[in-house]
């Protein structure tokens, strides 16, 4: 298992916002989104024993598998291994592949068409669909999406060192305003602001 980093922080996004969790960022992604601010290309190879020791040392008993795109590497066998150890496990996926079975919470941040999403999650219940939103982009109608417990809109932040010259993560007011407009059009959408960025946490 190739891993970019293992760290503990709050879940800053979505319906589990504020929960203390251990993030395991797996190497690799099958997309290259323009606004991507994630390092997913480096990594260190871990055996299951090494990974277990590293995660156990964090002490949270909760894992969020992330990336990159974690479905490229995460196996049902590994999920079962950590489930047997009593871990709550969630995944943050881009929707291009069906996640392995056995996870406790599935967040899809879709970077694929609705048709592909419906196909990939036909037999896999989704807990949360969360769209990163830039002003003016079209977001699918909720009624066309696969069923989920939560539907969220997440305004994309200003990139660091952009026109603002800031080295901090800044909330983009145009993106936020646009999310609020979309929520007025369909109040089933909820706002998800990346709290960890506002608090300058990892």
CB of 116 to ligand SF4, least distance (A): 13
Given a contact cutoff of 8 angstroms between Cβ atoms, the answer to whether 8 and 60 are in contact is yes
Nearer to ligand SF4, 2 or 81 (CB): 2
Total residues found in the chain within this entry: 202
- Looking at beta carbons only, is 83 or 112 nearer to ligand SF4? 112
Contact 26, 3 (CB under 8 A): yes
* Cα separation, 20 vs 178, whole angstroms: 29
Please, what is the minimum distance in Å from the beta carbon of residue 49 to ligand SF4?
27
Contacts of 113 (CB under 8 A, 6+ apart): none
Rounded CA-CA distance 114/40 in Å is: 25
Tell the smallest beta-carbon distance from residue 132 to ligand SF4 (Å).
Answer: 7
Cβ closest to ligand SF4, residue 34 vs residue 188: 34
Q: How far is the CB of 68 from ligand SF4 (least distance, A)?
A: 5
**13 vs 69, beta carbon nearer ligand SF4:** 69
Closer residue to ligand SF4, CB minimum distance, 112 or 193:
112
Helix, strand, coil % over all residues of the chain, rounded to 5: 25, 25, 50
Q: Please, what is the Cα angle at 139 between 190 and 163, to 5 degrees?
A: 90
List b or e across 73-105, with b for residues whose CB sees 16 or more CB atoms inside 10 angstroms.
bbeeebbeebbeeebbbbbbbbbbbebbebbeb
- What residue ranges bind ligand SF4 (CB under 6 A)? 29, 31-33, 36, 38, 40, 67-69, 94, 111
Minimum separation from the CB atom of position 106 to ligand SF4 (A): 15
């Amino acid at each position: 298992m190739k891993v970019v980093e293992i760290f503990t922080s709050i879940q800053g996004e979505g319906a589990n916002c504020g929960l203390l969790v251990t993030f395991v960022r797996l190497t690799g992604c099958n997309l290259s989104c323009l606004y991507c601010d994630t390092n997913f290309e480096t990594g260190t190879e871990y055996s299951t024993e090494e990974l277990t020791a590293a995660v156990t040392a964090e002490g949270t008993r909760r894992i969020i598998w992330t990336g990159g795109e974690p479905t490229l590497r995460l196996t049902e066998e590994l999920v079962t291994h950590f489930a047997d150890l009593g871990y709550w496990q969630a995944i943050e996926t881009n929707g291009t592949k069906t996640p392995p079975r056995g996870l406790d919470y599935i967040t899809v941040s879709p970077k694929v068409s609705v048709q592909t999403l419906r196909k990939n999650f036909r037999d896999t219940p989704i807990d949360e669909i969360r769209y990163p939103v830039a002003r003016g982009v079209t977001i699918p109608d909720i009624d066309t999406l696969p069923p989920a417990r939560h539907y969220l809109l997440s305004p994309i932040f200003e990139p660091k060192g952009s026109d603002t010259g800031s080295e901090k993560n800044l909330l983009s007011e145009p993106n936020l305003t646009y999310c609020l407009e979309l929520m007025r059009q369909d109040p089933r959408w909820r706002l998800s602001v990346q709290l960890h960025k506002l608090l300058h946490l990892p």
